[in-house]
Chain A
């Protein structure tokens, strides 16, 4: 496989809380390869968004801190560079769109201004040229009459429109990595499909790597080529999407896939009941020594509660951390 464009190695993020230090990300390895869409999936509180903020180096310090690890973009460790250099990376080489399009745009500036600001910041040039580019970007994300819409304020736009503006803003400086943190969770299903189509389309055109963070295995199936499944700040399984969907190894991955409803055109067909994973993600301050998923796992063994599982390779580019696999042997 080609050299990774962005490589996270042994990342550890800690937060100081009233109950002590919470390790919200532990020993995380993720690689991004040119031209791909990588999905990161897991429930709320699994550390997906914190992974994204770590890549942007926007983890709130204090109470949080990146305690260990490297995040290399083209070999440059972003965790070691100066804040000034990092500002040159944000919005330029790596940009991000967020879950809440309704509140992610500043209400007191026109959307054109907000896009042009990014362009001026990273590429300089005249205000007029930046504005022109902003209008072109709005056009590229499918906003009708962009020269008029650019002058409008966020409150004059719908949620889908605002998310398009966010995408236009994120792509304005041709980033190499675009992190989309639950970009469609707050939107109507029809708009969700439009935004996904737009992202796929723009990915083909610009060649940017997209990191799609979601809790929805359905979105992963539609968008991503590879997927990382996270639980309690750890990677539990990763591999090609087709492989993971048809042959999940970790009980948590199986559980997540079982939570996605299936649509059937034939109403007479017997309906498959939805399964769920009992319990919730444990508080990060109270993780024991064993596998963090063990208390919710239907197949947990004594060993699972005592010892953290190690990673096994179970197929081409398919890895899983689970004692069940270890027992079977790879």
Chain B
């Protein structure tokens, strides 16, 4: 496996370089953006005088040249310090750490639901590829893909929170409930329904389409003909012999998609005021809270890079035909 360790080192080096590039780019973008952060902070503090502005600049290191600020920023990141939020007045790491569980709850639930239901729908559609249900799935996938998630979310809000008030319109739980109690968890569940359904619909469209295609592909293969020639019933042929093979590409894609979970959540969280990373990002942008924006961008980049790294390395282990970087 000496070959494999070389690959790991190479990949790690690439990943680190990529993350550094992201950090520098993000940092510069924020500084190019119009508006002066010092004005905002001073405004929040209640008065703008030239003395106060100078004081704030010195306090936050904003009087130093840009390259020095950048070097300082990178150095801090290496120490695990993502800076201090201008607006919340707490370390950014703490903010991200507090918001992450809510986002994960939302995204993992939506993704799992979409994966299971989407696969089932796709399989049913594949059994009669020209049937009415199959066409319905195609249309559903088209709509699910094309409808912007904030629009779907708002439509759900109008329909099921306002018009027929079945679900709460915002938040994650009633503030009056004791966190940790059964009532609290039930209330969270109740609050989750609309955002989860909204988010799941995009993934559902994707997975039903993918599983339909994968299943159709498998159902046309020779070993399915063999299974039928053995005298197996249609059900056994489809759900035992075909499904196991059809699941392989679906699971692969699901693994890959996990890297992009954060991006999907931002808009949904914003629509439903779900207290996760997305809402935090939105708030930070509205408040011109530079360190928090940078922190969240950095965190997202880390997640994407790490998951891609893991996927690459796993492939390399599973399939000996994929030898990344080896020139034999």
Other-chain contact of B222, A91, A92, A95, A98 (Cβ < 8 Å): A98
A166 touches B232 (CB 8 A): no
- Quick check: which of A105-113, A188-196, A199-207, A255-263 contacts chain B, the rest being far away? A105-113
Shortest beta-carbon distance from B202 to chain A in Å = 30
A100 within 8 A of B: yes
Other-chain contact of B227, A89, A106, A166 (Cβ < 8 Å): A106
Digitize B211-232: 1 where CB-to-A-CB distance is under 8 Å, 0 elsewhere: 0000000000111011111111
B40 within 8 A of A: no
Residues on the A chain within 8 Å of B230, using CB? 90-91, 95, 117-118, 121, 169
Shortest beta-carbon distance from B134 to chain A in Å = 14
Other-chain contact of B223, A87, A96, A107 (Cβ < 8 Å): A107
Which residues in window 45-95 of B have CB below 8 A to A? none
Residues on the A chain within 8 Å of B225, using CB? 58, 98, 104
Interface size on B, residues (CB 8 A): 15
A65 within 8 A of B: no
B221 touches A91 (CB 8 A): no
> Interface on chain B toward A: helix, strand, loop, or mixed SS?
helix
B233 within 8 A of A: yes
A9 within 8 A of B: no
A88 within 8 A of B: yes
Which of A88, A96, A104 gathers the greatest number of chain B CB atoms within 10 Å? A104
B229 touches A106 (CB 8 A): no
A292 to B226 CA separation, bound complex (whole angstroms): 32
B244 within 8 A of A: yes
Other-chain contact of B232, A87, A89, A104, A107 (Cβ < 8 Å): A87
A56 touches B229 (CB 8 A): yes
B245 within 8 A of A: yes
Shortest beta-carbon distance from B231 to chain A in Å = 4
Shortest beta-carbon distance from B123 to chain A in Å = 16
Residues on the B chain within 8 Å of A31, using CB? none
A103 within 8 A of B: yes
A96 to B225 CA separation, bound complex (whole angstroms): 10
B231 touches A106 (CB 8 A): no
A296 within 8 A of B: no
Other-chain contact of A91, B231, B241, B245 (Cβ < 8 Å): B231
A122 within 8 A of B: yes
Other-chain contact of A104, B223, B231, B233, B245 (Cβ < 8 Å): B223
Which residues in window 55-94 of A have CB below 8 A to B? 56, 58, 87-92
Shortest beta-carbon distance from A130 to chain B in Å = 13
B223 touches A118 (CB 8 A): no
Which of B223, B229, B241, B244 gathers the greatest number of chain A CB atoms within 10 Å? B229
B231 touches A103 (CB 8 A): no
A104 to B226 CA separation, bound complex (whole angstroms): 6
Shortest beta-carbon distance from A223 to chain B in Å = 21
Residues on the A chain within 8 Å of B233, using CB? 87
A105 touches B223 (CB 8 A): yes
Closest to A117 in B: B230
Digitize A155-181: 1 where CB-to-B-CB distance is under 8 Å, 0 elsewhere: 000000000001001000000000000
Q: List 16 A-B contacts (CB under 8 A).
A: A87-B231, A87-B233, A90-B228, A95-B229, A96-B229, A98-B226, A100-B222, A105-B223, A105-B226, A106-B226, A107-B223, A107-B245, A108-B244, A117-B232, A118-B231, A169-B230
Task: Give B contacts to A, CB under 8 Å.
Answer: 221-223, 225-233, 241, 244-245
> A58-B228, A90-B228, A98-B225 are known contacts; what are 17 more A-B pairs with Cβ within 8 Å?
A58-B225, A87-B231, A87-B233, A90-B230, A91-B229, A91-B232, A95-B230, A100-B222, A106-B223, A106-B227, A106-B241, A108-B244, A109-B241, A117-B230, A121-B230, A121-B231, A169-B226
